[in-house]
């Protein structure tokens, strides 16, 4: 079997990363053991976090970058908060950058997630929107988002969210631009506000071992808010975490996204590892995914996942196999912050039509 250059590049980076973490982890464990066996391990962890970001897929090619963040607690009863920045650059001359924050305060009665993002993405589609056409496009993105939630009782939160984005899509030539204009995929300026309600019983915000998360939210994009178009999106998400043993967790999720009067640029896409976001589009989507997570020796772990998504305009579209997109894969992970259960994971995924994805990212997939 011939291994493509992007996959060889990814595997080379992973082997280097594994070697570095093995040496660093052994050194850290040795240092901690020699310090004071009865000392609080949390006091020894640095509040700074840095990790490489690597991905390989047919859309962006080989992409490399980094994320750096600072961890802190606003109060002792709230989860650890985080502020940080990230950036990546790919061999298709694409770049993505941003800054983010995740703040918990008031004894976890208040939660804020916010960020700013931008980028220039050069896409190379082998099968654009299932038409069989190879297509090259350029996406230019710039946006800001914010979400605030307030705990109203026990594990229930309600809140508001808003997003403002400038999204432009251009073709690599006149023919491509004509195709994009014909199907309505030309980008737009959007400003939206919405409502969110969620129930969160997870035992950890970073890597849950038990509990569940259920959320319902909407975003109303309006011309009256300064956008180019008016449309609505609705999302329902549910994930559950079953602790089968001390070293074994089974996680699964269901996501549904619906749109009303959305332009093609606001359609739903496949949200599974192995697929390129934006290559397949439809007004609505549903996603199912199961992941088997296992703790191995020390800080190391492994995971195997299986999922499927469907894109549809009418419910009857779900009856066609061509509208379903399966994916399967697995990977390893390393606890970079054991006390906070923060990890870095390396995944390989295979999808429909010979598509693939390879990722080195921070945090669990869901």
Distance in angstroms (rounded) separating the CA atoms of residues 247 and 93? 41
Domain of residue 181 covers 5-362
Please determine, for residue 127, whether its predicted confidence score (pLDDT) is greater than 80.
Answer: no
Burial 102-127 (b: 16+ CB within 10 A, else e): bbbbeebebbebbbbbbbebbbbbeb
Q: Give pTM, 2 decimals.
A: 0.84
Q: Which of 50-59, 255-264, 334-343 has the lowest mean pLDDT?
A: 50-59
CB atoms within 10 A of CB 158: 14
Distance in angstroms (rounded) separating the CA atoms of residues 126 and 109? 47
Our count of domains for the chain comes to 1
Give 242-278 pLDDT, tens digit per residue: 999 999 999 999 999 999 999 988 899 999 999 988 7
Mean pLDDT, residues 168-179 = 57
Band the pLDDT of 181: cuts 50, 70, 90: low
Domain at 83, CATH number: 2.40.160.50
Query: CB-side exposure of 258: number of CA atoms within 13 Å?
Result: 9
Please determine, for residue 297, whether its predicted confidence score (pLDDT) is greater than 80.
Answer: yes
Please, what sign has the CA dihedral across residues 73, 79, 80, 85? negative
Q: 261 and 284 in contact (C-beta within 8 Å)?
A: no
Please determine, for residue 179, whether its predicted confidence score (pLDDT) is greater than 60.
Answer: no
Question: Which among 80, 84, 86 has a CA at the least distance from the CA of 67?
Answer: 86
Band the pLDDT of 219: cuts 50, 70, 90: very high
Beta strands 248-260; 268-269: pairing state: unpaired
For residue 283, the model assigns a pLDDT of 97
Q: Is 298 helix (H, G, I), strand (E, B) or coil?
A: coil
Q: Is 261 helix (H, G, I), strand (E, B) or coil?
A: coil
């Amino acid at each position: 079997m011939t291994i493509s250059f992007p996959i060889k590049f990814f595997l080379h980076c992973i082997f280097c990363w594994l070697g570095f973490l093995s040496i660093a982890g052994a050194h850290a464990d040795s240092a901690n053991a020699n310090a004071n066996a009865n000392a609080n391990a949390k006091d020894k962890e640095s509040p700074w976090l840095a990790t490489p970001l690597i991905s390989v897929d047919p859309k962006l090619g080989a992409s490399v970058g980094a994320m750096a963040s600072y961890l802190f607690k606003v109060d002792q009863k709230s989860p650890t908060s985080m502020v940080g920045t990230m950036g990546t650059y790919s061999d298709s001359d694409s770049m993505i950058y941003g800054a983010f924050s995740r703040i918990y305060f008031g004894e976890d009665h208040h939660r804020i997630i916010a960020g700013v993002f931008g980028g220039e993405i050069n896409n190379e589609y082998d099968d654009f929107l299932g038409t069989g056409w190879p297509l090259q496009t350029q996406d230019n993105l710039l946006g800001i988002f914010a979400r605030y939630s307030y705990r109203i009782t026990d594990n229930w939160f309600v809140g508001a969210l808003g997003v403002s984005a400038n999204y432009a899509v251009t073709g690599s030539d006149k023919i491509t631009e004509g195709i994009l204009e014909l199907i309505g995929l030309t980008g737009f300026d959007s400003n939206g506000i919405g409502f969110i309600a969620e129930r969160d019983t997870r035992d950890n915000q970073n890597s849950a071992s038990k509990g569940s998360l259920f959320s319902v939210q909407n975003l109303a994009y309006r011309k009256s808010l300064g956008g180019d178009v008016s449309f609505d999106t609705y999302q329902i998400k549910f994930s559950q975490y079953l602790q089968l043993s001390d070293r074994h967790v089974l996680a699964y999720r269901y996501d549904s996204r619906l749109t009303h009067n959305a332009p093609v640029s606001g359609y739903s896409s496949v949200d599974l590892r192995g697929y390129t976001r934006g290559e397949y589009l439809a007004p609505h989507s549903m996603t199912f995914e199961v992941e088997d997570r296992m703790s191995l020796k020390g800080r190391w772990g492994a995971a195997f996942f299986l999922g499927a998504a469907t894109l549809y305009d009418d419910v009857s579209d779900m009856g066609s196999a061509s509208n379903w997109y399966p994916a399967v894969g697995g990977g390893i992970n390393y606890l970079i912050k054991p006390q906070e259960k923060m990890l870095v994971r390396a995944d390989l995924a295979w999808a429909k039509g010979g598509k693939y994805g390879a990722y080195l990212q921070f945090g669990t997939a869901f």
